[in-house]
């Protein structure tokens, strides 16, 4: 089981557009960040957990104000690759996804 002790977490909003990851501040709204003509294939919240040298990327749906939902498993892999971290290198994400999403 994942132990949250001694971890830090960074929470960001994200969107996936044409396979490209865009991370932005949680204070900004998805609908104001992008042109209406852009094809957003996935969007939501990402939590980046850090413990020592390990990191874990966990995505969940924020209930964004347009008809795009997150694709957690796919998005986590894309964002982890974008950040240059091993996918879920601390512990399996299934241990904590339900407690934060």
Convert the pLDDT of each residue in 33-92 to its tens digit.
777 777 888 898 999 888 777 788 888 876 555 667 788 889 999 999 999 886 655 444
Q: What is the pLDDT of residue 90?
A: 44
- What distance in Å separates the CA atoms of residue 94 and residue 88, rounded to the nearest whole number? 10
User: Checking phi first, is residue 97 left (phi over 0); if not, alpha (psi -120 to 50) or beta?
Assistant: alpha
Q: What is the pLDDT of residue 88?
A: 52
DSSP label at 38? S
Nearest to 82 by CA among 31, 17, 32: 17
> Residue 23 above 60 pLDDT?
yes
> Residue 93 above 50 pLDDT?
no
User: Residue 97: pLDDT band by 50, 70, 90 thresholds?
Assistant: low
**Phi, psi (5° rounding) for residue 5?**
-60, 145
């Amino acid at each position: 089981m994942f132990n949250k002790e001694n971890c830090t977490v960074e929470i960001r909003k994200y969107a996936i557009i044409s396979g490209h990851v865009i991370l932005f501040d949680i204070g900004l709204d998805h609908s104001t960040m992008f042109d209406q003509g852009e094809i957003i294939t996935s969007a939501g919240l990402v939590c980046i957990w850090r413990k020592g040298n390990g990191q874990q990327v966990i995505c969940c749906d924020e209930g964004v104000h347009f008809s795009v939902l997150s694709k957690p498993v796919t998005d986590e892999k894309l964002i982890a690759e974008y950040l240059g971290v091993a996918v879920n290198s601390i512990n399996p994400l299934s241990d904590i996804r339900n407690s934060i999403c």
